[in-house]
Amino acid sequence: MLDAVERGLLQALQIDGRVAFSLVGAVLGVSDQTVARRYARLRNEAGVRVVGAVWPEAVGRQLWLVRV
């Protein structure tokens, strides 16, 4: 189960996957070392990944959604 710090960290990463741990820590009221430890644990134990995503239209492609 995620605690408030981990939920806040995940929310920050969804907004900006390259956000500084010091900024996240300042917003959440914890140290940057705490944020770094939580990030490492989420990556190692929960399978959290930060990936780059491109809007298909930006590279000349179309996005299709199919519901079955």
How far, in Å, CA of 66 to CA of 8, rounded?
32
Query: 51-56: long-range contacts at Cβ-Cβ below 8 A with a sequence spacing of 24 or more?
Result: 51/17, 52/17
The one-digit pLDDT tens for each residue of the chain (68 residues) are 899 999 999 999 999 999 999 999 999 999 999 999 999 999 999 999 999 888 888 899 988 889 98
**What is this structure's pTM?**
0.77
SS3 content of the chain, % helix, strand, coil (to 5): 55, 0, 45
pLDDT of residue 68: 87
Tell me yes or no: is domain 4-56 CATH 3.40.228.10. Answer: no
pLDDT of residue 5: 98
pLDDT of residue 40: 97
How far, in Å, CA of 17 to CA of 12, rounded?
7
How far, in Å, CA of 46 to CA of 13, rounded?
15
Domain ranges of the chain: 4-56
